[in-house]
Amino acid sequence: MSNQWQISIPGSTANLGPGFDSIGLGLSLYLKLTVTLQDEWQFVHVGENVPTNTTVEDHLIYKIAKQVAEQFGKQLRPCLVEMTSELPLARGLGSSAAAIVAAIELANLLCELDLSIQDKLNISSQIEGHPDNATASVLGGLTISAMSEDGIVDTIQVNDIDAAFVVFIPNVELKTAEARGVLPAQFDRAYAVRASANANMLAAALIAKDYERIGCYMEVDLFHEPFRAKLIPQYVEIHAAAKQAGAYGTALSGAGPTLISIIPSEGAEQFVVNMKAQFPTHKIVLTTADHKGAQVLAL
């Protein structure tokens, strides 16, 4: 057995508008852990987007890895975990789902659990509470998922999305719990039918790779965006400017506050230059779909 590994997990965007708690897309922004067996637990954080002042016992990755090991009646072996992340915290880019998937991979390798992909989809989605970000971080690509009441995940993966994705990250955090707190507890039937028809058309357009319609249905969510828009800096202005500059469509990335535009791959750099000039207080990043999902390499 090796004594050093690298775990690489893509971040993700969730919902793409009306695919609320169901649709996810792995993005080319990564959480990376270098894991080395040693006699004591130690986390070393390098760069931005990593927790500060966290004890081992309070570390999300340690806590989840321990929980998963115990679920299988095992104990974690101690190790040094060096962590870097391109995923800003609490911005809607799947940082917590990526950390959960990383922790499951850590438990899997330290305890030799031999987890299947289905196990990883189920465990990560159960911990996260919904399968959108978690399945995208496990599998990569675009994932359309449902989780049954007993926590079994079913996913259809759509690969080869021929588009680029631009994320508009504001300089403020928005915790998912707060963004879920503004959502109505119930919808009446006629409203729910319209909301679900838009979600169905988004999923169909994604499978058909009909980019104009993907963009159109991304922008007509009724499940969450109408209630969250007021929490999002420059929500209306970014939608309008992105459309004007040639985006197929723009939606909240997960619970926000990041917005994401899907745009033609050709001309993507120019789109970003244009948006940076108009929204100087946002961090604007060009990404593509990740197609590999969670990767573990022995070093």
Whole-angstrom distance, CA of residue 108 vs CA of residue 76: 9
Nearer to ligand HSE, 14 or 111 (CB): 14
Query: Please, which of residues 15-44 interact with ligand HSE by CB under 6 A?
Result: 15, 20-21
Site size toward ligand HSE (CB under 6 A) is 13
How far out from the chain centre does Cα 264 lie? 21
Q: In whole angstroms, how close is the CB of 105 to ligand HSE at the nearest point?
A: 20
On the 0-12 / 13-18 / 19+ scale of CB atoms within 10 A, 110 is buried
Query: Please, which of residues 155-214 interact with ligand HSE by CB under 6 A?
Result: 176, 179-180
Give the single-character DSSP code of 54: -
Nearer to ligand HSE, 20 or 211 (CB): 20
Nearest CA to 24 out of 37, 6, 11 is that of: 11
- Binding to ligand HSE by CB under 6 A, coded x per residue (else -) over 247-276, reads -------xx---------------------
Q: List all residues 6 or more positions away from 152 whose beta carbon is below 8 Å from its beta carbon.
A: 122
Nearer to ligand HSE, 127 or 294 (CB): 127
Q: In whole angstroms, how close is the CB of 242 to ligand HSE at the nearest point?
A: 20
Pairing of strands 42-45, 79-85: parallel
Query: Distance of CA 157 to CAs 6, 87, 229, Å?
Result: 25, 23, 29
Can you tell me which residue has the tokens 């926000």? 256
CA atoms within 13 A on the CB side of 38: 11
Of the candidate residues 14, 144, 167, 268, the single one contacting ligand HSE (CB under 6 A): 14
Q: By the 8 A CB rule, do 26 and 137 touch? A: yes
Q: In whole angstroms, how close is the CB of 283 to ligand HSE at the nearest point?
A: 19
Q: In whole angstroms, how close is the CB of 90 to ligand HSE at the nearest point?
A: 10
Binding of ligand HSE by 91 (CB under 6 A): no
Q: Which stretch binds ligand HSE (CB under 6 A): 13-21, 35-43, 51-59, 146-154?
A: 13-21
Nearer to ligand HSE, 147 or 245 (CB): 147
Residue type, 180: R
Whole-angstrom distance, CA of residue 139 vs CA of residue 156: 10
Nearer to ligand HSE, 35 or 179 (CB): 179
Of the candidate residues 120, 224, 239, 282, the single one contacting ligand HSE (CB under 6 A): 224
Query: What length does the chain have?
Result: 299
Of the candidate residues 130, 136, 168, 211, the single one contacting ligand HSE (CB under 6 A): 130
Give the interface with ligand HSE as residue ranges (CB under 6 A).
14-15, 20-21, 130, 132-133, 176, 179-180, 224, 254-255
